[in-house]
Structure 1
């Protein structure tokens, strides 16, 4: 099942939101304003490319899931969630980094504009799907952060991989980054609650700290339960066992070109 956490790109809505930021873009009918109009057009075109890259990756994941079902009678992916970062979120991130409102700044510095969350059934599935996807010849692994084997201090676990995938337009192939987060159902369940707590600002500090500690304890307990259930799954199912996380192609010219702003 694929869940789009936002509707597909709405160019009229993007144009309206960028125009609302006119004090920064100079949309005032002058020569500066004309450059602002050009920026809106370039921004919409770039968002179309990000959307295309997101759908390219999600299609690859669907095909992998179907192949697993045929080969092993097991679907490793429980569901997918896709999202394009909102216009406000993109502009806000540029502001926080002191970057200009340009398409070049977005391309060179923001690698999570297009995002997919892959919710798998078991930890083996996380690594198997990530590695099979990474092995495909037309995509590149740009960056890997394995928070499953190396959890964050608060207990967060997930495998983050940034891929570059070609989007073919009339002007040729545009290699575009997509951030993919792989996690199990239990990891996602935990992360959703932790996210809600993090942004719950009206809780007293002592209650917030108490819940944070409880969530850390829960993360460790869930990890133990997942390990036991994984063992049972391995005994009754012939699907591939998980290996190591994918590795970035450090010497890839595509990677170096895509990450030139970092």
Structure 2
């Protein structure tokens, strides 16, 4: 094969690889836009934002090839695109466990999103203590000449879950997967402590919400003096009575 033909083939491969990776970048851009809209809506309209922060990533070509080798997946764009569903990923970190399911419900409720798979490692943790809610989604990406459905993995977890998962990843990376037994035991213990913290925070969250609801209800009440005592009366009803009295 002459040099000119080989260079042309390399250009074609490079162009195809660039287009392949851009597809996932565009899918991430679309999903991040959706999540940013939700964040801004909660910040400006509601009095509470369940999303603490977001982080997105695309696997490198080297990482994709390593996964192909581990799973014996043929190295073609079609096979990779259909069988590796976590090339593009977004991690959503929340304060409370209930926020995780609230956000998941909002994401799945968007009409152009298809839910391919759900893995609930919160209700069913991994043996090492790992917890998170994983969603595999398919979203449409529109090009100048076609439309493609692209897979994205969404991981939703609390701050405590995220801290533990980050620590676990660093330890396994440092020991190249061969982690000493005593560290594995410590990680499992730490996972239990993180879970207890999440449960306590969830109780506090519920109490705060209940207090807010009580306060909101009180703000809608007024008091009717009868027999030198004060009885709560809904403000709208009191205003209606006063208006009727004035007419009479």
CA distance in 2, matches of 1:204, 1:168: 44
Say whether residues 1:125 and 2:123 are aligned partners: no
Larger proportion of helix? 2
CA distance in 2, matches of 1:114, 1:53: 8
Mark the CA change 1:216 to 1:36 in structure 2 (over 3 Å): closer, same or farther: same
Q: CA deviation at 1:211?
A: 1.6
Determine if contact 1:39/1:103 at 8 Å carries over to the other structure.
no
Q: CA deviation at 1:200?
A: 2.2
Gaps of 5+ in 1: 1-26, 240-262
Per-residue displacement from partner, 1:120-153 (whole Å, max 9, x unpaired)? 1111111101110111001100111110110000
**Which residue number corresponds to residue 229 of structure 1?**
201
Mark the CA change 1:223 to 1:203 in structure 2 (over 3 Å): closer, same or farther: closer
Structure 1 counterpart SS, 2:137: strand
CA distance in 2, matches of 1:203, 1:138: 39
Q: Cα RMSD over matched residues? A: 2.4
CA distance in 2, matches of 1:150, 1:225: 18
**Which residue number corresponds to residue 26 of structure 2?**
52
Mark the CA change 1:94 to 1:186 in structure 2 (over 3 Å): closer, same or farther: same
Say whether residues 1:86 and 2:60 are aligned partners: yes
Gaps of 5+ in 2: 213-248
Determine if contact 2:137/2:154 at 8 Å carries over to the other structure.
yes
Determine if contact 2:118/2:136 at 8 Å carries over to the other structure.
yes
CA distance in 2, matches of 1:229, 1:191: 19
Say whether residues 1:201 and 2:175 are aligned partners: yes
1:153 to 118, 127, 142: 127
Structure 2 counterpart SS, 1:82: strand
Mark the CA change 1:203 to 1:220 in structure 2 (over 3 Å): closer, same or farther: same
Larger radius of gyration: 2
Determine if contact 2:121/2:132 at 8 Å carries over to the other structure.
yes
Structure 2 counterpart SS, 1:228: helix
Structure 1 counterpart SS, 2:150: strand
Mark the CA change 1:184 to 1:204 in structure 2 (over 3 Å): closer, same or farther: closer
1:219 to 151, 176, 191: 191
Say whether residues 1:175 and 2:146 are aligned partners: no
**Which residue number corresponds to residue 192 of structure 1?**
166
CA distance in 2, matches of 1:218, 1:66: 34
